[in-house]
Chain A
Amino acid sequence: MLEYAQAKKVLDEYGIRSVESAYVGAADEAVAFSDGDRIVLKLISDKAVHKTKEGLVKLDLKGEDEISAAFRYLEDRGRKLRPYKILAQKMAESGVEIIIGGNTDAQFGRMLLIGLGGIYVETFKDVELRLCPITKADAKNMLESLRSGKVITHGGASTKMVANLLFSVSKLLIEHEEISELDLNPVIVREGSYDVVDIRMIK
């Protein structure tokens, strides 16, 4: 798996916006990163696949005391999950959580996926798949075909924004042959903006 910072760089190449983030080695580094904003602390380890379920994500932290306490908690949990790192991210504004992903089919090649994300993705499996590269029309059609399409965007500018995002991810998957699997989960979508909050890029 690509390290978070590297993965973020790949997204940057395609203008795919992900939340501001940095690895922090100590509680005061996390506080400095926050700079007064609400932040999230995540423990990143190959031994922890479902970070949220395992309680390795501390959300909505503000102020020195709260941030330091959360950092120390994760550090403590990390003892059993070595090697690990702690990632600090600016808290994304709330919105609809979706998943955008990529996969490599042995026979057909790169597949692009979108679905209603977060905790819903495994339950409802409301996802749409397309073979890459997709066209702009394919991107729009993916959104229209989702049962939850209207929950994600209401047409107009937002639909175009998510369609463009899908188009960019398709391009990324085609051009980066070394990346065999990709999860952007969740991507938080709001009217007029979005943030990729978590990235898994597998070589």
Chain B
Amino acid sequence: MKARYDLRTMLKPKSVAIIGASRNPDKVGHIILQNYLSAGYSGKLYPINPNADEILGLRAYKSVLDIKRDSIDLAVVAIPAELTPQALNDCGKAGIRNVVVVSGGFAEVGNGALQDKLKDICDKYGIAMIGPNCLGLMDTRSRIDTLFLPSYKISRPFIGRVSFVSQSGAVGSTILDIISSEGIGLSKFISYGNAVCVDEVDILEYLMADDETDVIVMYIEGIKRGKEFVEVARKLGKKKPVVILKAGRTDAGVTAAHSHTAALAGNYATQEAIFRQFGFTVAKDLDELLDYAKIFASDPEPKGNRVSIITNGGGTGVLTTDAVASSRSLVLSQLANETRAALAKTMPALVNVTNPLDLAGDADAKRYGDALTAVSADENTDILIVIALFQTPGADSKVAAELVHQKGDMDKPMVVISVGSDYTGLHKKILESGGVPVYESPSAAAKALEALFEYGRFRDRKP
């Protein structure tokens, strides 16, 4: 399938025109321009505003048609809906082939006719349009940022290898705000709104080939082109992990059907089945979406399903043991004799060398380090769950630093379970910015590890 649009140029533009850029700090066009400047975008910026000569220190133009000396790779349109067709037409005449329309006021409010006009103009000039009614694009490497959210209101994520696709702008901005605090580094953010031209199929196709993207996280409300979606999903699932949250899970609109099969194969069930068939990890809510995104972003594929648990709290160790044992695909490991011998040498007498390995409440960085060194080398262990309760006397920032250090040396997946408030939160940050995924409950950790294991199994499966 040949790509319909050139999304690469859209995300890596050398020059950007911002139509609707304004001197008024309350206007969307002002925020977008300001964000480009704040992000340190290194390409050329052209504010477009018929009533200004200069905005934020940049020369402003009355129309994109007035920019004679440069070709524009991307135009961002942030003006009222009724003025958008004219602006889009100007873009077409000026030879601009990539446009993001962030403005709302189209089909989502019943104004389908105006939306059709945009579509006609795009078709006429061969414009790839994202939107309307969307947040648009962010690329942490090219530093483009069409989001009209003031930077003080939303944390901008750091550079990473997870790309996030959201049909909805609201869900998109929420997740964008959270992922930086969850330690998930971002490659690209694409919010595509009404999907008049560029839709989820185009975006997935692009991200599948994008070598700055290792993990795709997706929130969708509907799929426009079913057959094409399947065609891309079939290839994509084998290539990169995809975590997907599809709204409309409880759609009760399944009408009376003729057969049992039709009644059982409702709309959501069908889509979920297709996602799973192609190896996508299906999240049921935003929490799960982030939990899964986090593990795919930071952990390697496990070689097997045997889990070893290291803890500084007995009770949490037992709860985690339960979560692992009741999971569909994970099992508890039996530590090998050599590992047990190594642990017997380094652990104090009160530590019972077994799985879960309870390091006791006074466990400090050294004890964690010794335990992790032995267990990560254990031949019967494929996955490590480390419980670090920072309320205990022994646990402090040195423990967090030791866990980060150990994780860096490890070729097995490792997650941390840490539950608590402010002091814990601080250490959670240290861990996550060091690439260690942290979960707040044993069940969330087990579910995420199960997803990681299942994806690996899917990827290795012969057809």
Q: Which residues of A contact B (CB under 8 A)?
A: 99, 101-103, 105, 107-109, 111, 113, 115, 121-122, 125, 127-131, 134-138, 141, 181-183, 185, 200, 202
What A residues does B270 contact at CB under 8 A? Answer: 103, 105, 108, 111, 129
Determine whether B461 belongs to the interface, using a CB cutoff of 8 Å to chain A.
Answer: yes
A38 to B224 alpha-carbon distance, docked (Å): 53
- Does B315 sit at the interface, judged by CB under 8 A? no
| Residues of the A chain whose Cβ atoms lie less than 8 Å from the Cβ of B226 | 105, 107-109
**Which residue in B223, B259, B277 is a CB contact (below 8 Å) of A138?**
B277
Distance in angstroms between the alpha carbons of A185 and B262 in the assembled complex: 13
CB contact list, B186-222 vs A, under 8 A? none
Q: A131-B274, A137-B462 are in contact. List 12 more A-B contacts (CB 8 A).
A: A99-B261, A103-B259, A103-B262, A105-B270, A113-B261, A129-B269, A130-B274, A134-B277, A138-B277, A181-B261, A183-B261, A200-B259
Interface-central residue, B226, B261, B262, B263, by most chain A CB under 10 Å: B261
What separation, in Å, do the CA atoms of A111 and B258 have in the docked complex? 15
Contact check, A202 vs B274: say whether CB atoms are below 8 A apart.
Answer: no
| Residues of chain B from 247 to 297 with CB closer than 8 A to chain A in the complex | 257-265, 267, 269-271, 273-274, 277
Residues in B whose Cβ lies below 8 Å from that of A131: 230, 273-274, 277
**In the assembled complex, which residues on chain A have CB atoms less than 8 Å from the CB atom of B274?**
108, 130-131
From DSSP, what is the main secondary structure of chain B's interface residues?
A: helix
Residues of A within 8 A of B229 (CB): 108
**How distant is B453 from chain A, measured CB to nearest CB, in Å?**
14
Least Cβ–Cβ distance between A15 and chain B, in angstroms:
21
Is B110 part of the contact surface with A, judged by Cβ < 8 Å?
no
Known: A111-B265, A131-B230. A121 touches B273 (CB 8 A): no
> B345 contacts the other chain (Cβ, under 8 Å)?
no
Nearest CB on A from B179, distance (A):
30
Establish whether residues A103 and B223, one from each chain, have CB atoms under 8 Å apart when the complex forms.
no
Contacts A113-B265, A129-B273; A135 near B463 (Cβ below 8 A): yes
- Chain B, 294-331, contact with A by CB distance < 8 Å: what is the 0/1 string? 00000000000000000000000000000000000000
A108 touches B269 (CB 8 A): no
User: What residues of chain B lie closer than 8 Å to A99, measured between beta carbons?
Assistant: 260-261
A115, A135, A136: the one contacting B264 at CB < 8 Å is A115
Where the two chains meet, the residues of B that have a C-beta atom closer than 8 Å to any C-beta of A are 223, 226-227, 229-230, 257-265, 267, 269-271, 273-274, 277, 461-463
Q: Are A129 and B265 in contact (CB under 8 A)?
A: yes
Instruction: Point out the residue from B223, B262, B277 that lies within 8 Å of A130, measured CB to CB.
Output: B277
Residue in B closest to A134 when the chains form the complex, CB atoms: B277
CB nearest to B234 among chain A residues: A131
Q: How many A-B contacts if CB must be within 8 Å?
A: 81
Partner of A182 from the list B227, B257, B261, B263 (CB cut-off 8 Å) is: B261
A117 to B421, CA, bound (A): 49
| Bound-state Cα–Cα, A200 to B273, Å | 23
8 sampled A-B residue pairs with Cβ under 8 A = A107-B226, A111-B261, A128-B273, A129-B270, A129-B273, A181-B258, A181-B261, A183-B259
Contacts of A181 in B (CB 8 A): 257-259, 261-262
- A55–B259 alpha-carbon span in the complex (Å): 19
Q: How far is the CB of B279 from chain A (nearest CB, A)?
A: 11
Closest to B262 in A: A103
The 4 closest A-B pairs by CB, nearest first: A101-B261, A107-B226, A129-B273, A135-B463
Provide the residues of chain B in CB contact with A103, threshold 8 Å. Answer: 259, 261-262, 265, 270
Q: Are A102 and B463 in contact (CB under 8 A)?
A: no
Q: How far is the CB of A7 from chain B (nearest CB, A)?
A: 12
Residues of chain B within 8 A (CB-CB) of A127 are: 264, 269
Bound state CA distance, A115 and B265, in angstroms? 11
**What is the CB-to-nearest-CB distance from A187 to chain B, in angstroms, rounded to a whole number?**
12
B270, closest chain A residue (CB): A105
B226 → chain A closest CB, angstroms: 3
A29→B188 CA distance, assembly (Å): 72
Residue of chain B at shortest CB distance from A100:
B261
Task: Chain A residues near B277: list those with CB within 8 A.
Answer: 130-131, 134, 138
* Shortest beta-carbon distance from B304 to chain A in Å: 17
Chain A residues with Cβ below 8 Å from B230 are: 108-109, 131
Determine whether the beta carbon of A101 is less than 8 Å from that of B260: yes
Tell whether, in the assembled complex, residue B264 and residue A125 are in contact, meaning their CB atoms are under 8 Å apart. Answer: yes
Residue of B nearest to A145 (CB): B276
A115 and B226 alpha carbons, distance in the complex (Å)? 25
